[in-house]
């Protein structure tokens, strides 16, 4: 345990217990008597800690209010490993979606930098070693992120103008926000839609206009949220669930077996080295995209509708390639 940790621990023990014996401090800090004395002297001389030894009661305590100079530990104290972890976390957060929430955690990052100081791991050096890339992140208007987060915490409704790319339609909705989801480099809002009278997921970059309302939000039980949104595949939800059975070649099995396609997936390595994966879905669009990226290394066994849809997609792709001038040339 480093010196800064021990000082914080001593402060914590004295505040919590009022009186702490020498033996207890030695046992809690796992140090020698000489080290304990140095730590106590540092706290008294450098930090103005009003620590006194009560001979009658046989332990250390803080002097009564007014007996010594003002004392408080300077802010949050972490050891260097904890501070380095916090810097890493801050960099990860600021890297999400090109820094969408970076400005909101800047005060935290500044404080972490001050805590880390010039220890074994310098924060500036650490930042040079961390890079966050966001393939697939859409460039859209996420200016409403703070307002949505505020409504989430205050449990208030929102009135939104929403553009759905799939249908090419813009609609007005009053929604009760339930939670924010960061999925495949893009932000989504799970909400209860008062127009459709059901749970819906909205891409933040599809929100064209937003008005915060003072009406209380409708709360949906977390288990109901999980059942509705996790029953489908990817960002597509739904109550009618189908199960896809996929067989991956032995060459691809070593990667797919380590991947998490769905929280309820079932997978089994076969004797011939191939891998059998079963995943639930309600809307096949995103699942089809994941299947198609594996090309000839995957075979759709069930259901027949999904198998036909994949085969049709490959046929369309081949037909388009055959018709293109680039393919002919």
Average predicted confidence (pLDDT) for the chain = 82
Do residues 251 and 313 both lie within one domain? yes
H/E element, 253 = helix 250-256
Give the strand pairing for 59-62 and 51-54: antiparallel
**134 assigned to some structural domain:** no
| pLDDT greater than 50 at residue 118 | no
**13 assigned to some structural domain:** yes
pLDDT digits (tens, 9 = 90+) for 146-190: 889 889 999 999 999 999 987 899 999 999 999 988 887 788 899
Taken in order 254, 258, 259, 263, the sign of the CA dihedral is: positive
Do residues 260 and 310 both lie within one domain? yes
How far apart CA 116 and CA 49 sit, in angstroms, is: 23
How far apart CA 196 and CA 192 sit, in angstroms, is: 9
Do residues 149 and 203 both lie within one domain? yes
H/E element, 178 = strand 169-183
How far apart CA 186 and CA 134 sit, in angstroms, is: 9
Do residues 260 and 213 both lie within one domain? no
Do residues 151 and 123 both lie within one domain? no
| pLDDT greater than 60 at residue 327 | no
**67 assigned to some structural domain:** no
Over pLDDT 70: what percentage of the chain?
A: 73
What pLDDT shows up at residue 319? Answer: 87
Phi–psi pair at 51, nearest 5 degrees: -85, 130
Percent of residues in the chain assigned helix, strand, coil, to nearest 5: 45, 25, 35
| pLDDT greater than 70 at residue 112 | no
| pLDDT greater than 90 at residue 302 | yes
Give the residue among 160, 163, 188, 164 at the shortest CA–CA distance from 174: 160
Do residues 248 and 291 both lie within one domain? yes
What pLDDT shows up at residue 298? Answer: 95
How far apart CA 120 and CA 124 sit, in angstroms, is: 12
Do residues 279 and 251 both lie within one domain? yes
pLDDT digits (tens, 9 = 90+) for 74-107: 555 555 566 667 666 666 666 655 455 556 666 6
Show the 3-state SS of 146-176. Answer: HHHHHHHHHCEEEEEEEEECCCCEEEEEEEE
Do residues 215 and 266 both lie within one domain? no
Over residues 306-326, the mean pLDDT reads 87
Over pLDDT 90: what percentage of the chain?
A: 47
How far apart CA 59 and CA 23 sit, in angstroms, is: 9
DSSP 55-74: TTTTEEEEPPTTSS------
**139 assigned to some structural domain:** no
Total domain count, the chain: 4
What pLDDT shows up at residue 4? Answer: 75
**299 assigned to some structural domain:** yes
Chain centroid to Cα 91, Å, comes to 12
CATH assignment at residue 265: 3.30.70
pLDDT digits (tens, 9 = 90+) for 238-287: 667 899 999 999 999 989 999 989 888 999 999 999 999 999 998 898 89
Do residues 150 and 223 both lie within one domain? yes
pLDDT digits (tens, 9 = 90+) for 40-71: 998 888 888 889 999 999 999 998 765 555 66
CATH assignment at residue 213: 2.30.30.530
**174 assigned to some structural domain:** yes
| pLDDT greater than 50 at residue 232 | yes
| pLDDT greater than 60 at residue 121 | no
Q: Residues 273, 286: contact at Cβ < 8 Å?
A: no
pLDDT digits (tens, 9 = 90+) for 185-211: 788 899 999 999 999 999 998 999 999
What pLDDT shows up at residue 132? Answer: 64
Do residues 45 and 107 both lie within one domain? no
Structural Rg of the chain based on CA atoms: 29
Q: Residues 199, 211: contact at Cβ < 8 Å?
A: no
Q: Which of 62, 91, 113 is the last residue of a domain?
A: 62
Identify the domain containing residue 27 by its residue range. 3-62
**224 assigned to some structural domain:** yes
Beta bridge partner(s), residue 276: 247, 268
What pLDDT shows up at residue 248? Answer: 96
What pLDDT shows up at residue 86? Answer: 66
Beta bridge partner(s), residue 202: 189
H/E element, 227 = helix 222-230
CATH assignment at residue 15: 1.10.10.10
**22 assigned to some structural domain:** yes
């Amino acid at each position: 345990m480093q010196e800064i940790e021990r000082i914080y621990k001593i402060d914590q023990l004295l505040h919590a217990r009022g009186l702490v014996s020498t033996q207890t401090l030695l046992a809690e800090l796992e140090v020698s008597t000489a080290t304990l004395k140095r730590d106590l002297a540092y706290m008294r001389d450098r930090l103005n800690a009003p620590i006194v030894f009560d001979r009658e009661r046989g332990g250390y305590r803080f002097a009564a209010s007014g007996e010594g100079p003002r004392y408080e530990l300077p802010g949050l104290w972490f050891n260097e490993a904890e501070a380095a972890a916090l810097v890493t976390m801050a960099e990860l957060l600021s890297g999400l979606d090109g820094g969408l929430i970076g400005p909101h955690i800047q005060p935290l990052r500044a404080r972490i930098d001050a805590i880390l100081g010039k220890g074994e791991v310098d924060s500036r050096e650490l930042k040079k070693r961390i890079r966050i890339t966001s393939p697939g992140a859409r460039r859209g208007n996420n200016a409403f992120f703070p307002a949505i987060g505020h409504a989430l915490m205050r449990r208030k409704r929102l009135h939104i103008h929403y553009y759905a790319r799939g249908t090419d339609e813009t609609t007005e909705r009053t929604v009760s926000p339930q939670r924010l989801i960061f999925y495949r480099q893009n932000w989504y809002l799970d909400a209860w839609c008062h127009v459709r009278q059901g749970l819906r997921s909205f891409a933040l970059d599809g929100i064209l206009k937003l008005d915060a309302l003072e009406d209380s939000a409708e709360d949906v039980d977390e288990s109901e949220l999980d059942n509705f949104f996790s029953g489908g595949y990817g960002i597509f939800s739904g109550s009618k669930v189908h199960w896809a059975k996929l067989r991956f070649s032995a060459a691809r099995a070593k990667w797919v077996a380590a991947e998490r396609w769905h929280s309820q997936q079932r997978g089994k390595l076969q004797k011939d080295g191939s891998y059998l994966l079963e995943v639930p879905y309600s809307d096949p669009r995103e699942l089809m995209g994941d299947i198609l990226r594996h090309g000839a290394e995957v075979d759709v066994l069930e259901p027949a509708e999904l198998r036909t849809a994949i085969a049709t997609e490959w046929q369309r792709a081949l037909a388009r390639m055959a018709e293109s001038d680039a393919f002919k040339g």
